[in-house]
Amino acid sequence: MRQEQLMPLPDPDWIETLRAEAEKPGRTKAAIAKELGISRPAVSLICAGKYTARLNKVGVKIAAKVMALYGRKVWCAHLRTSISNDQCRENHNAPMTMSDPVRLKQWAACHACPLNPKNMEEESHAVGHDARSPKDIPGRSGNDHHPAHLRNGGT
């Protein structure tokens, strides 16, 4: 039986950007790893194209950070590529359109994106949100997770 050879796929932008940063004079992979919050061996393996874990899992963790720190771009999870800060801003400021399904999906993705400044503000407010346990809230007990009208047969 003949073994078929797979066509090699190009590396994502964030990996190319990471490699370029690692090749700059005076830069060390240890320093880059510290900035990204990952191990030095992980940076080495990613740059060498020998990282054994799924790159999509690593990409979720560090792609946006790589592009923001070293590429002057942001990682768009919806488009699955890096885009300029200006394009990102245009996308998340665009009005919702019902006539174009592609643009509607982009609009929805932008409004759910953690890079959207509106979402960053909501997260910072959520930190100070009511952190009481359910048993500290009047009318609720620790084991009580459903409203009274659902517990009593829906009446």
| pLDDT at 71 (0 to 100) | 82
| pLDDT at 22 (0 to 100) | 93
Domains and CATH numbers, the chain: 11-71 (1.10.260), 73-127 (no CATH)
Question: What pLDDT digit, counting tens, does each position of 40-95 carry?
Answer: 999 999 999 888 877 777 777 888 888 888 887 777 888 888 788 888 889 889 99
Question: Which comes out higher in pLDDT, residue 15 or 117?
Answer: 15
Asked if 16 and 46 count as a contact pair (C-beta separation under 8 A), the reply is: no
| pLDDT at 3 (0 to 100) | 55
pTM: 0.51
What is the rounded distance in angstroms from the CA atom of residue 81 to the CA atom of residue 59?
11
The amino acid occupying position 140 is R
What is the rounded distance in angstroms from the CA atom of residue 113 to the CA atom of residue 151?
36
